[in-house]
């Protein structure tokens, strides 16, 4: 098998204990995006602006992103279920959590790069080794060309220290704005790879391609032993959050 699995099992931005909480009833008829100053767009429910859990104005610098958030609010039924509002949760997390913790969040992404999924290779079976060479090696070549960062490989779970220069290159490539940083952090934790997250941001990979590349271990196991329905369902839920983050990055340009 591959090296240490650092992929998050938690849906991005979902507050702890939310699954057991009674959901609030829908209290509005109309949800839509509206201009909120130059280059900013807010979400309104029946004409009233939405605020984050931290009471900040829910506003983004992209009409496309604002329309997507408004669509999530409009799609709610009798109750408001944050689980099916991944873009809203991501933006809430960025505004309330990342704005004042940018250095910490960027540091977490760099730490993931220090033990990146792509650098830990399996010792068996051969079909997994072949997939790692086919799908992971070209990404590492791209990272070397795009960022001038060379990463070392390891087999199994044996930790390999990455060159400080490579980690500095990743740190230097990260954005400063909280929305992009939150999206990259979420994709990194869900995939176990900062390099995969960067590849999506830079349009080297689609969200679907990136998700498959991050889960070839599971793909191989399913080919050998069959599909675990519960595991597949959990993976699909995590992909919804991953795809939401990829959409946010694309919408921000």
138 and 225 share one domain: yes
pLDDT of residue 165: 98
Q: What is the DSSP letter of 145?
A: H
Contact 160, 119 (CB under 8 A): yes
pLDDT of residue 223: 85
CA–CA dist 179, 166 (Å, integer): 24
CA–CA dist 224, 227 (Å, integer): 9
Q: Name which of 189, 208, 195, 213 is nearest 144 in CA terms.
A: 195
Residue 6 pLDDT > 70: no
Is residue 89 a part of any domain in this protein? no
- The average pLDDT across 165-192 equals 98
pLDDT of residue 13: 43
39 and 75 share one domain: yes
Reported residue count of the chain is: 253
Tens of pLDDT, residues 30-79: 999 999 988 999 999 999 999 999 999 999 999 999 999 999 999 999 99
CA–CA dist 38, 238 (Å, integer): 34
What CATH number has the domain bearing residue 57?
Answer: 3.30.2180.10
What are the Cα distances from residue 220, in Å, to 55, 125, 181, 209, 225? 45, 9, 32, 16, 9
Residue 12 pLDDT > 50: no
Residue 1 pLDDT > 50: no
Range of the domain at 43: 24-80
Count of domains in the chain? 2
159 and 238 share one domain: yes
137 and 248 share one domain: yes
- The average pLDDT across 118-127 equals 94
Alpha helices by DSSP H, 132-227:
137-147, 164-173, 178-191, 194-201, 207-214, 216-225
- The average pLDDT across 19-34 equals 89
pLDDT of residue 243: 98
75 and 112 share one domain: no
The percentage of residues in the chain with a pLDDT greater than 90, rounded to a whole number, is 82
CA–CA dist 241, 76 (Å, integer): 17
73 and 108 share one domain: no
120 and 240 share one domain: yes
150 and 233 share one domain: yes
Residue 136 pLDDT > 80: yes
Residue 224 pLDDT > 50: yes
Tens of pLDDT, residues 79-99: 999 999 999 999 999 999 999
CA–CA dist 5, 122 (Å, integer): 12
pLDDT of residue 8: 64
Is residue 156 a part of any domain in this protein? yes
Is residue 90 a part of any domain in this protein? no
Residue 213 pLDDT > 90: yes
109 and 227 share one domain: yes
pLDDT of residue 15: 47
């Amino acid at each position: 098998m591959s090296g240490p699995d650092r992929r998050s099992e938690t849906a991005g931005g979902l507050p702890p204990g939310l699954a057991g909480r009674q959901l609030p009833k829908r209290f509005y008829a109309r949800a839509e995006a509206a201009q909120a100053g130059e280059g900013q767009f807010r979400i309104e429910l029946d004409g009233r602006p939405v605020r984050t859990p931290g009471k900040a104005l829910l506003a983004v610098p992209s009409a496309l992103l604002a329309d997507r958030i408004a669509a999530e609010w409009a799609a709610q039924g009798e109750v408001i279920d944050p689980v099916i509002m991944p873009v809203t949760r991501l933006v809430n997390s960025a505004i309330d959590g990342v704005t004042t913790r940018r250095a910490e969040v960027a540091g977490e992404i760099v730490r993931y790069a220090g033990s990146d999924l792509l650098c830990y290779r399996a010792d068996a079976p051969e079909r997994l080794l072949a997939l790692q060479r086919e799908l992971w090696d070209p990404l590492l070549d791209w990272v070397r060309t795009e960022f001038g960062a060379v990463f070392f490989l390891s087999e199994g779970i044996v930790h390999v220290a990455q060159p400080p220069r490579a980690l500095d290159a990743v740190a230097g490539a990260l954005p400063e704005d909280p929305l992009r940083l939150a999206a990259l952090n979420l994709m990194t934790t869900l995939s176990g790879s900062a390099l995969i997250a960067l590849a999506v941001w830079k349009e080297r990979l689609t969200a679907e391609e990136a998700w498959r590349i991050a889960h070839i271990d599971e793909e191989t196991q399913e080919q050998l032993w069959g599909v675990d329905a519960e595991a597949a369902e959990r993976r699909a839920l995590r992909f919804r959050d991953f795809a939401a983050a990829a959409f946010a990055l694309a919408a921000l340009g």
